[in-house]
Amino acid sequence: MKVKNSLHPVEVLIVPTCKHYGIKKIATFDEDFERVDFLEVVTI
């Protein structure tokens, strides 16, 4: 798992949870998740 820059402390908990459960897409307005290599950010 690679993250290009540091994340907010709450995001640090969300990212490994997604990895653990095999979640590959996340719907959010937070652009920080775009820096996580295995997550696809879904926007409207």
Instruction: Give me the residue label for tokens 């095999």.
Output: 22
Whether residue 2 is contained in a domain is answered as: no
pLDDT digits (tens, 9 = 90+) for 9-43: 888 899 999 999 999 999 999 888 988 999 999 98
Cα 21 from Cα 30, distance rounded (Å): 20
Whether residue 18 is contained in a domain is answered as: yes
Per-residue pLDDT at 35? 87
The sign of the dihedral angle between the CA atoms of 16, 18, 24, 27 is: negative
pLDDT band at 1 (very low <50, low <70, confident <90, very high): low
pLDDT digits (tens, 9 = 90+) for 2-18: 655 677 888 889 999 99
Whether residue 23 is contained in a domain is answered as: yes
Whether residue 32 is contained in a domain is answered as: yes
Q: Residue ranges of the alpha helices (H) in 1-44?
A: 9-21
Residue-number span of the structural domain to which 38 is assigned? 9-42
Total of domains in the chain: 1
pTM assigned to the model: 0.76
Per-residue pLDDT at 5? 65
